[in-house]
Amino acid sequence: MRSECTARHRSPDTRTLERIRKVVSLGARIPAGQQIKEILALEGRFTRPARQYVVYANFGTDSDTDSIGYWRTVLLDADLSVIVVVGENEYSHIKPRSVGDIDGDGLDEVWIGIYGYEGQHAGLMYWRGEAGGHSFRIIANAYNGA
């Protein structure tokens, strides 16, 4: 199979992004009325050779003293059903930066930024070939921060 290791930043069209906003909010552990402040969505083929999306949604905070806030990173299938919640409301926010087929298997891996309020690091997220909550693994470099 031909490898396409080139980083891609293909975002969904406006209509699809609006649908993604609704889907990513469903089931999110956020206070009532909390709205998305930032959304990043990239197209790729992560678990099968069909259009899928990796999405980061930041819902902000509900107080000035909350340094983590409410957020979630999910993978969505072509029909916008949730494949897996990669992370949610933890210290380090997992934000997709680009996608590309690193290992030439026809499926994309995701270059990510992992951000906390005291620093950040970068990493690569890839599918382990199985279903469930641990179906994706992240390889991260050293933490650059306090």
* DSSP annotation of 106: S
Is 107 contained in some domain? Answer: yes
Q: Against a cut of 0.85, is the pTM above it?
A: yes
Say whether pLDDT at 1 is over 50. no
**Is residue 131 a contact partner of residue 120, using CB atoms and an 8 Å limit?**
no
Decide if 84 is inside a domain. yes
Q: Dig out the tokens for 43 from the structure.
A: 């197209």
**Does 6 reside within a domain?**
no
Quote helix, strand, coil % in the chain, to nearest 5: 10, 45, 50
The structural domain count of the chain equals 1
Residues 70 and 28 sit within 8 Å (Cβ to Cβ): yes
Choose the weakest-confidence range: 44-58, 62-76, 113-127. 62-76
Whether 134 is covered by a domain: the verdict is: yes
- Sequence letter at residue 120: Q
Domain, as residue range, for 19? 14-145
Question: How far, CA to CA in Å, does 121 sit from each of 45, 139, 140?
Answer: 24, 10, 7
pLDDT tens digit string along 57-114?
A: 999 988 777 778 899 999 999 999 999 999 999 999 999 999 999 999 999 999 999 9
- 4-44 pLDDT per residue, tens: 567 777 899 999 999 999 999 999 999 988 999 999 999 99
Indicate whether 9 belongs to any domain. no
Any domain includes 2: no
Which tokens in the block code for residue 12? Answer: 């969904």
CB 94 within 8 A of CB 114: yes
The mean pLDDT of 114-138, rounded to a whole number, is: 88
Residue 135 has pLDDT above 80, yes or no: yes
On the question of pLDDT at 126 being above 60, the answer is: yes
**Cα 111 from Cα 102, distance rounded (Å):** 10
pLDDT of 3 > 70? The answer is no
The verdict on residue 7 lying in a domain is no
Looking at per-residue pLDDT, the higher value among 77 and 132 belongs to: 77
- The CATH number of whichever domain residue 101 belongs to comes to 2.40.128
Contact 73, 85 (CB under 8 A): yes
Q: Does some domain include residue 98?
A: yes
- Please tell me which residue, 1 or 33, carries the higher pLDDT value: 33
Beta bridge partners of 127: 136
- Is the model's pLDDT at 129 over the cut of 90? no
